[in-house]
Amino acid sequence: MKIADIRLTPLLVPYTKPYYWSQGVIEGAGVVLVEVETTEGVIGYGESVATPSAEAVMAHLRIAASRCIGRSVFESNGLLRDAYQVMFQAYGTCSSPRYAGQVLAGLSMALWDAAGKTAGQPVHALLGGKVRDEIRHFGFCQGETAEEVADDAEVLAAAGFDVIYFKVGRGDALDLETARMVRDRIGPDHRMRVDPNEKWNPLHASRMIRKLADYGVELVEQPCHCESVMALAQIRAASPIPIGADQSVFTPFEAFDVIRAGAADMITIGLHETGGFANLLKIAHIAEAADVNICLHGLYETGITTCAGNQVAAVIPNLDDANQHMTRFLDWDIVKSPDLTPVNGAVKVLEGPGLGFEIDHDNVARAAELHRARNSF
Ligand SMILES: [Mg+2]
């Protein structure tokens, strides 16, 4: 079970159509595939989100990987702690927990995948055991216009998603028209959530939230700048709609501060923010102690992250009943099996060893070629 090799491959998996949110437009999932191979020939897979660039993330992952060779895949907590120390503290830059989390998430996933495969157990079993049999997801409707978002909402509601979620913060008139049209299409019984992704300050949020309440919105995620817990608390104190913290929480310290400030009714968090399983579980425990739910976050990711998220979500008692799911945006995936499409809004807890999936080597080669083609200038 000792780590013999760690390989890194930059990939680009295209989306079926452009992805619109308040910060821009995304064309596909750019990730770095992390492969951890043990002395017994077991291969664990993970992925790190490749922003600002795959090259930048790989440069840091190579430093982290150098600390891991020769050590056990069952030591991921210590390995990741040592990797962070050498990446950001030993050389005097001292602290970069958010970027480090993004870099190290893929290594954490790959180590846990290898550990689970070595033990012949799903990762959730190694984490203490699942407390549920399925993970429930919200229907994430997308589009450039209000009409396109509403069309997608109707499809998702008909597919069995109880909760419909869409991006706002794209202009007040467009946001309100989208909310009106989505509510009209999904009817009064479906739950509705919106996410401005930090685009509103407290004054702007107050104005928009009062209007959105007319459409039965049940949660507004991260309305304001992520670095001001005070602004988030101020918005929540005045809001008729519950408020979620997303980009305000990446670390256990931030989770504690947000909860202590009474700034959020829910915390949205994923493996790419926390740097892997250990810190995500710490944040879930902090939230559990305040009776706050955890909503599993999604980023520009492939099915590898969906499987890793499924494993950790299985063991979180205070998991929300509407979590993010991103594979529907992919034109094709690098996970060959199982099928990760939610059925009636849910994906079963995966029971295969490790993260519980089989990789599609042909599609990995295809995604590597797409990354090369896109970056050959
Ligand atoms: Mg969000």
Distance 248 CA to ligand 1 centre (A): 10
Distance 264 CA to ligand 1 centre (A): 13
Rounded to an integer, what distance in angstroms lies between the CA atom of residue 46 and that of residue 67? 17
Query: How many Cβ atoms from other residues are within 10 Å of residue 237's Cβ?
Result: 11
Distance 306 CA to ligand 1 centre (A): 16
Quote the pLDDT of residue 217: 98
269, pLDDT greater than 80: yes
pLDDT-derived band at 24, boundaries 50, 70, 90: confident
Is the separation of the CB atoms in 292 and 236 below 8 Å?
no
Distance 71 CA to ligand 1 centre (A): 36
94, pLDDT greater than 80: no
| pLDDT tens track for 123-181 | 999 999 999 999 999 999 999 999 999 999 999 999 999 999 999 999 999 999 999 99
Residues 271 and 205 in one domain: yes
Residues 84 and 141 in one domain: no
Residues 247 and 318 in one domain: yes
Domain range for 211: 126-356
Distance 7 CA to ligand 1 centre (A): 31
Q: What's the 3-state SS for 235-304? A: HHHHCCCCEEECCCCCCHHHHHHHHHCCCCCEEEECHHHHCCHHHHHHHHHHHHHCCCEEEECCCCCCHH
Residues 151 and 74 in one domain: no
The total number of structural domains in the chain stands at: 2
Residues 116 and 169 in one domain: no
Residues 199 and 335 in one domain: yes
Q: What strand order describes the sheet that includes 139-140?
A: 139-140, 163-167, 191-195, 217-221, 243-245, 266-269, 293-296
Distance 19 CA to ligand 1 centre (A): 14
Residues 296 and 368 in one domain: no
377, pLDDT greater than 70: no
Residues 92 and 181 in one domain: no
Quote the pLDDT of residue 108: 98
Residues 42 and 185 in one domain: no
Distance 197 CA to ligand 1 centre (A): 6
Query: How many Cβ atoms from other residues are within 10 Å of residue 40's Cβ?
Result: 12
Q: What is the CATH number of the domain that holds 108?
A: 3.30.390.10
Quote the pLDDT of residue 59: 95
Rounded to an integer, what distance in angstroms lies between the CA atom of residue 256 and that of residue 74? 28
Q: How many CA atoms lie within 13 A of 355 on its CB side?
A: 31
| pLDDT tens track for 227-237 | 999 999 999 99
**Whole-Å CA distances, 159 to 140, 153, 154, 321, 342:** 12, 10, 9, 16, 9
Return phi, psi of residue 94, to 5°. Answer: 75, -55
Distance 222 CA to ligand 1 centre (A): 6
Nearest to 275 by CA among 154, 150, 143, 104: 104
Quote the pLDDT of residue 135: 98
Ion ligand 1: residues, Cβ under 5 Å: 195, 221, 246
The distance from CA 290 to its chain's CA centroid, rounded to whole angstroms, is: 22
Distance 223 CA to ligand 1 centre (A): 9
Residues 135 and 91 in one domain: no
Q: Mean pLDDT throughout 183-210?
A: 97
| pLDDT tens track for 100-118 | 999 999 999 999 999 999 9
Distance 221 CA to ligand 1 centre (A): 6
Distance 323 CA to ligand 1 centre (A): 11
Q: What is the CATH number of the domain that holds 187?
A: 3.20.20.120
Quote the pLDDT of residue 221: 98
Q: What's the chain's average pLDDT?
A: 96
pLDDT-derived band at 325, boundaries 50, 70, 90: very high
Residues 261 and 336 in one domain: yes
Residues 44 and 98 in one domain: yes
Distance 341 CA to ligand 1 centre (A): 21
